[in-house]
Chain A
Amino acid sequence: MASASGGRVLRTGGELAASVALTFMGLLLVTFIIGRLVPVDPLLAVVGDRASEAARQQAMEELGLNLPLWRQFLIYTGNVLTGDLGMSVTTSRPVVEDIARVFPATLELASLGILIGVVFGIPAGVLAAAYQDRWPDHVVRVLGLIGYSVPIFWLGLIGLLVFYAQLRWVGGPGRLDIFYEGLVPTVTGVILVDSALAGDWEVFQNALSHLVLPASLLGYYSMAYISRMTRSLMLEQLSQEYIVAARVKGVSEFRIITRHALGNILVPLITVVALSFASLLEGSVLTETVFAWPGLGRYITTALLSADMNAVLGGTIVVGLIFVGVNMLSDLLYRLVDPRAH
């Protein structure tokens, strides 16, 4: 899956910046076009269905809908660049504010998810490669295969049924029990951090018990991807001649795997982790719906169901932006760490 590791490696920083800017413009163009595809008459919400032709005309001019499409696109781009994603119809607040409010919940979930994915995925991939075609390899591959095949929202429901409803091991849907809500002041919006700052460990514990199931779920999905990529990267290294040389030299197998081979795949692993962080955002849309998690994903889906296009497109832009940003960061890191890229 070489194509999964991202596009061609760009040579200069300028090239990278230009590529990111172009991709971002393309992203805006796509959301702009989606916005124009909506069959809903945009004037209806402003002037109502009994408005006179003159009132409609006036509203149209105020909204800039009479301008040629390319001018409208320029205005749209300008708005987005200055942080104006429009008003949300459902919350009657600027979409940017809404997103700033819900984003910490997603960040909390996704960060813990990727942490779980990395902590379990990389060792699992290394183990699978070290014991290729023996039982540890089979276990890791089967776990990965299940991760690639099972619908995340369904696994979430089953998880709730088993670990929350039956076993009572974890907290249920939402970020906190109602009892604990509003007890700690919002500083960062990440409840784990906020409650730790306030020193309220009871809230911390409650938040963690709500977080652990959805985060493990997302972690499992990134683990499936990370372990698979780690395994194939490791196998590639282990078949190289320098490994044979090290074995001949009498270096222990443990050292060969942890120092020689693993040391050499750390750089491409950065890209793998970056990519899995991006796909985590995607998984979080469905996970947040199942767990009533008030994050960005749930914001987008609720907006969708009430045809709140500004909110949907604003959320889409933000996710796309994170996607592009994470890819760019991994590209930059790659260049910093890998001497061959200089």
Chain B
Amino acid sequence: MPTEHATARAWLLADVPGSAFQAYCGRLYLGWLALARNKLALLGLAIVVGLVLCALLAPLITPYGPNQQNLANRLQPASLQHWFGTDQLGRDIYARIIYGSRITLYIVVLVAAITAPVGLIVGTLAGYMGGRTDTVLMRLTDVFLAFPRLILALAFVAALGPGLENAVIAISITAWPPYARVARAETLTIRHAEFIEAVRIQGGSTARIILWHVIPICLSSVIIRVTLDMAGIILTAAGLGFLGLGAQPPDPEWGAMISSGRQYILDQWWVATVPGIAIFVVSLGFNLLGDGLRDVLDPKSA
């Protein structure tokens, strides 16, 4: 109903919010309005939401299982029965792509859940404590930044053994340093702010200050960075899969699918092409969304 809509809007955009919660919701709403003005960012958001939906609804939207073989029907081109054709074991490529979104989402969520907190804690600790703690932590960060990400991930996977979980661990180990840098830079700008001083004078412990007052402020920059990095993480994971070091067959991981479709590329090009397009679309989505978020939350660096 329009009136209800109008009151909700008025509540969100109130000049003098009645509570911290209302102010918070209002800020979120303003951010959303700014994001919604950016068509490309919305497209990115739609792609990411689409990825999540595919992952959740996989069994409902695919007529075949991801590993359902039909050797009599292998390497078929696209048809009404098999929208994207079939692969060398007669498996439906469409079903494998849809189920593969689960693996992609799993990697992305897990890497973000591991690296963002680590980066935040290392960065804020270094920035807030300063002095020797800062030197040691940032030196550590620099060391990890001194390796090209994929090569370091390769070395870790070599040590841990191939597999999806190990790929996630290896990517996480290589992905946190930029977040620590961002969080540190942000912390340095507010370290001597009066509201931090106020908490300190009231007897707030260092842990309390960092957890409750510094980290929330660094959060938006780190979220932007993580979103922008998602595409890179997806590409690294796909690269590991392509090299045979990530998810193992018969898992429908997109990079591994390209790798196994590679030998048929001359005659049955779709086997390797379709998963590549899936990777491209999803990383494009994260890139567009990340760019849009950056413009909204951090206009100065656009």
Contact = CB atoms under 8 A, between A and B. Distances in A.
B235 A151 contact: yes
Contacts of A35: 159
Given A3-B181, A151-B255, A157 B262 contact: yes
Interface in B233-286: 235, 238-239, 242-245, 255, 258, 262, 265-266, 269, 272-273, 275-276, 279-280, 283-284
B152 A316 contact: yes
B149 interface: yes
A41 to B, nearest CB: 14
A166 to B, nearest CB: 9
A59 to B, nearest CB: 21
A44 to B, nearest CB: 16
B146 interface: yes
A224 B266 CA distance: 28
Contact of A300 (B144, B151, B181): B151
B114 interface: no
A154 B279 contact: yes
Interface in A18-53: 19, 22-23, 26-27, 29-31, 34-35, 37-39
B150 interface: yes
A23 B142 contact: yes
A37 B160 contact: yes
B161 interface: yes
A37 B265 CA distance: 37
A29 to B, nearest CB: 8
A262 interface: no
Contacts, number: 148
A1 B182 CA distance: 10
B142 A26 contact: yes
Given A148-B283, A151-B235, A282-B150, A31 B155 contact: yes
A319 B143 contact: no
Nearest to A296: B151
A193 interface: no
Contacts of A22: 139
B243 A304 contact: yes
A307 interface: yes
A165 B266 contact: yes
Interface in B45-92: none
A285 interface: yes
Contacts of A281: 148, 151
A160 B276 contact: no
A109 interface: no
B137 interface: no
B301 interface: yes
A149 B148 contact: no
Contact of B161 (A39, A146, A285, A316): A39
Nearest to A282: B148
Interface size class of B (residues with CB under 8 A): 35 or more
A34 B147 contact: no
A312 B244 contact: no
Nearest to B281: A149
A278 interface: yes
B275 to A, nearest CB: 8
Interface string B127-161: 00000000000011011111111111011111111
A278 B148 contact: yes
A23 B177 CA distance: 14
Contacts of A146: 280, 284
In this complex, the member of A26, A158, A160 whose beta carbon has the largest number of chain B beta carbons within 10 angstroms is A26
A145 interface: yes
A336 B234 CA distance: 39
Contacts of B287: 145, 148-149
B182 A161 contact: no
Nearest to A29: B143
Contact of B243 (A7, A148, A301): A301
B140 A316 contact: no
B273 A158 contact: yes
Contacts of A245: none
Contacts of A327: 146
Contacts of A282: 148-151
In this complex, the member of B148, B150, B161, B235 whose beta carbon has the largest number of chain A beta carbons within 10 angstroms is B148
A285 B235 contact: no
Nearest to A148: B287
Contacts of B255: 151, 153
A27 B144 CA distance: 8
B178 interface: yes
A198 to B, nearest CB: 34
B164 interface: no
A30 B147 contact: yes
23 contacts: A26-B140, A27-B143, A31-B155, A34-B156, A148-B283, A149-B283, A150-B283, A151-B238, A154-B258, A157-B276, A278-B148, A279-B148, A281-B151, A282-B148, A286-B239, A286-B242, A286-B243, A301-B154, A301-B243, A312-B155, A320-B147, A320-B151, A323-B148
The 4 closest A-B pairs by CB, nearest first: A26-B143, A154-B276, A282-B148, A37-B159
Interface of A: 1-3, 7, 19, 22-23, 26-27, 29-31, 34-35, 37-39, 145-146, 148-155, 157-158, 160-161, 165, 278-279, 281-282, 285-286, 289, 300-301, 304-305, 307, 309, 312-313, 315-316, 319-320, 323-324, 327
Interface of B: 139-140, 142-152, 154-161, 178, 181-182, 185, 231, 235, 238-239, 242-245, 255, 258, 262, 265-266, 269, 272-273, 275-276, 279-280, 283-284, 287-288, 301
Given A161-B265, A312-B154, A316-B155, 15 more contacts: A3-B178, A27-B146, A30-B147, A37-B160, A149-B280, A151-B242, A151-B276, A151-B283, A152-B239, A154-B273, A282-B151, A286-B243, A304-B154, A305-B243, A305-B244
